[in-house]
Amino acid sequence: MILYNVTSSLEPAAAEAWVTYMREVHMPEVMASGFFIKNQLLRLLNEEDGGFTYAAQYYCLSLEQLDAYQEHVAPALRADIESRFAGQYVSFRTVLEVIE
């Protein structure tokens, strides 16, 4: 199984709207793509500068599924987030293999 993790650090003024958007719009759209079997949204608690950092995590069965998602679905979803929260966040992505 593959874990696709997107970690985002937000400007404090944007954090509440971003979480609402993720929960109500973005994450449901990602799941509706059919490439993932499970998701979760987490908040980093040990921020040193009082910031807001979240990890959106999505599980899929194979790297091929993730590659297909990244090619066919992700560009439009990323563009939508950027249009709504431009300059208010930075994100980085990691791909992990679930061992157990």
Tens-digit pLDDT profile for residues 2-61: 999 999 999 999 999 999 999 999 999 999 999 999 999 999 998 777 779 999 999 999
Instruction: Confirm if 37 and 86 have CB atoms less than 8 A apart.
Output: no
Q: Tell me the pLDDT band of 78, cut-offs 50, 70 and 90.
A: very high
Measured CA to CA, the distance from residue 14 to residue 61 in angstroms comes to 33
pLDDT at 10: 95
Ordered by where they begin, the domains of the chain are 2-97 (3.30.70.100)
pLDDT at 51: 79
Q: What angle separates helix 63-72 from helix 74-85, to the nearest 10 degrees?
A: 60
